[in-house]
């Protein structure tokens, strides 16, 4: 009986000693050391896009007669890309030309009528003056003088009518010229021209199809306006500014690193993903870029001559400005409330204040960490 009691006591003491050893033995921890020349970068994921992207089509409806370009082609401004069947419109143009010619003939006739009316008026005025003088001398009757005055008045009215008719025909001529211009413009709309020097991204129709006004026939981009559209977490976006440099990696060329600059920061964030859109121009990207290709960007927001950079996983209760970390003080673990600043693209945050003198921040808190527990500093990460 005593022997069993003795064995049980020894077992309890051994277990207690083991527990005491496991809970009170010094924990080996790694600590954060100050780093020189720290580059603060923000990571973003995005795609290759074009600032100038246009879907072009005809302004009228008709059957697609021909297409002279295809996807991948480079086209110059003003180059013909396609044409519609235009027989009906050509007939309208010919009819408008005939109307203009008729208006010119009518205008010439009206001008001649005005000249004739004015000549008759001049003749009647002369006859009226002569009879008026003869009637005063009683060499002609008063009735003849009155008839001469009446003829002059009629001739003057005929001149007014002829001039009015001429003005109407002139207006009709202007209307006919405008109608001709309209029909010629509509005829020109049966051909599709490149609006700028471009690369054709896609061709949306084929010869023989009946297209409606506004239907896209080609998608064009200006190759000089290729840029990278990236999305940055709002929590990090406050450090962004126009002109900041960044490095770009394309999914198709993972070994290559290209250089860009922030050209635009979106004024509206994504309300669902809580991200801000940033657009970067690229100075040395490949000549051939593919829209929609995935790209990674790292934007340099600043540098520090020296900084303490703490992994985010080591911070608890972080609210974007403050948080708690484990520190080693006088060989024991102690919780400390610190303030933080800028982030980098490696999941670390800069310590800006609150660190007690002589304290070192634990980079990766181990299991079993507790207030006041002994700690031994191992290799730094």
Judged against a pLDDT cut of 70, whether residue 139 lies above it is answered with no
Q: Calculate the alpha carbon distances from 173 to 31, 75, 94, 102, 165 in Å.
A: 92, 40, 16, 9, 12
Mean pLDDT of 114-124: 85
Q: Which residue has the higher pLDDT, 330 or 85?
A: 85
* Lowest-pLDDT range of 9-13, 71-75, 273-277: 9-13
Query: And the tokens for 303?
Result: 């540098």
Tokens 């610190």 belong to residue: 338
Query: Which CATH code fits 25-38+306-377?
Result: 2.40.420.20
- CA-CA distance, 247 to 262, in Å (whole number)? 11
Cβ-based neighbours of 109, under 8 Å, separated by 6 or more: 169
The answer to whether 353 touches 338, Cβ cutoff 8 Å, is yes
Cβ-based neighbours of 184, under 8 Å, separated by 6 or more: 93, 96
This prediction's pTM: 0.68
Q: What is the mean pLDDT of the chain?
A: 86
Q: CATH top-level class for 62-84+190-220?
A: mainly beta
- Which pLDDT band holds residue 178 (cuts at 50, 70, 90)? very high
pLDDT, tens digit, for every residue of 296-313?
999 999 899 999 999 988
The answer to whether 342 touches 350, Cβ cutoff 8 Å, is yes
Pick from 51, 85, 81, 52: which is nearest to 67 by CA?
81
pLDDT at 21: 42
* Lowest-pLDDT range of 18-27, 84-93, 237-246: 18-27
3-class secondary structure, 381: coil
The answer to whether 171 touches 179, Cβ cutoff 8 Å, is no
- Apex CA 216: angle with CA 214 and CA 217, to 5°? 120
Kindly write down the DSSP assignment for every residue of 60-129, as one continuous string: S-EEEEEE---TT-EE-TT-EEEEE--HHHHHHHHHHHHHHHHHHHHHHHHHHHHHHHHHHHHHHHHHHH
42-51+223-303, CATH topology level: Elongation Factor Tu (Ef-tu); domain 3 (2.40.30)
The answer to whether 262 touches 280, Cβ cutoff 8 Å, is yes
Q: Is 291 exposed, middle or buried (0-12, 13-18, 19+ CB in 10 A)?
A: middle
Query: And the tokens for 234?
Result: 């709002």
pLDDT at 192: 95
List the beta bridge partners of residue 353: 339
């Amino acid at each position: 009986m005593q022997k069993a009691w003795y064995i049980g006591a020894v077992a309890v003491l051994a277990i207690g000693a083991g527990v005491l050893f496991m809970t009170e033995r010094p924990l080996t921890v790694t600590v954060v050391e100050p780093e020189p020349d720290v580059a603060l970068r923000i990571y973003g994921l995005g795609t290759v896009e074009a600032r100038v992207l246009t879907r072009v089509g005809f302004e009228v409806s008709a059957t697609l007669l021909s297409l002279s370009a295809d996807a991948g082609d480079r086209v110059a401004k003003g180059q013909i890309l396609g044409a519609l069947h235009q027989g009906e419109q050509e007939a309208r143009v010919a009819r408008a030309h005939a109307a203009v010619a008729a208006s010119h003939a009518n205008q010439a006739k009206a001008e001649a009528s005005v000249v004739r009316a004015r000549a008759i008026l001049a003749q009647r005025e002369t006859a009226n003056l002569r009879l008026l003088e003869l009637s005063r001398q009683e060499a002609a009757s008063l009735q003849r003088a009155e008839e001469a005055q009446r003829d002059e008045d009629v001739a003057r009215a005929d001149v007014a009518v002829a001039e009015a008719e001429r003005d109407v025909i002139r207006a009709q001529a202007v209307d006919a010229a405008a109608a001709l211009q309209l029909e010629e413009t509509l005829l020109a709309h049966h051909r599709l021209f490149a609006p700028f020097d471009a690369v054709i991204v896609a061709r949306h129709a084929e010869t023989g199809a009946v297209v409606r006004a506004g239907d896209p026939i080609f998608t064009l981009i200006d190759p000089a306006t290729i840029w990278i559209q990236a999305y940055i977490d709002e929590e990090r976006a406050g450090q962004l500014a126009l002109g900041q440099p960044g490095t770009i990696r394309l999914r198709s060329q993972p070994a290559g690193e290209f250089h860009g600059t922030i050209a635009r920061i979106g004024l509206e964030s994504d309300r669902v993903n809580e991200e801000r859109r940033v657009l970067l121009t690229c100075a040395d990207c490949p000549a051939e870029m593919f829209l929609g290709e995935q790209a990674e960007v790292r934007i340099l927001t600043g540098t520090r001559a020296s900084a303490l950079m703490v992994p985010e996983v080591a911070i608890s209760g972080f609210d974007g400005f403050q948080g708690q970390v484990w520190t080693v003080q006088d060989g024991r673990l102690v919780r400390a409330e610190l303030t933080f600043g800028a982030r980098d693209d490696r999941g670390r945050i800069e310590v800006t204040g609150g660190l007690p003198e002589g304290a070192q921040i634990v980079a990766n808190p181990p299991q079993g960490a507790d207030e006041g527990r002994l700690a031994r500093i191992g290799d730094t990460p």
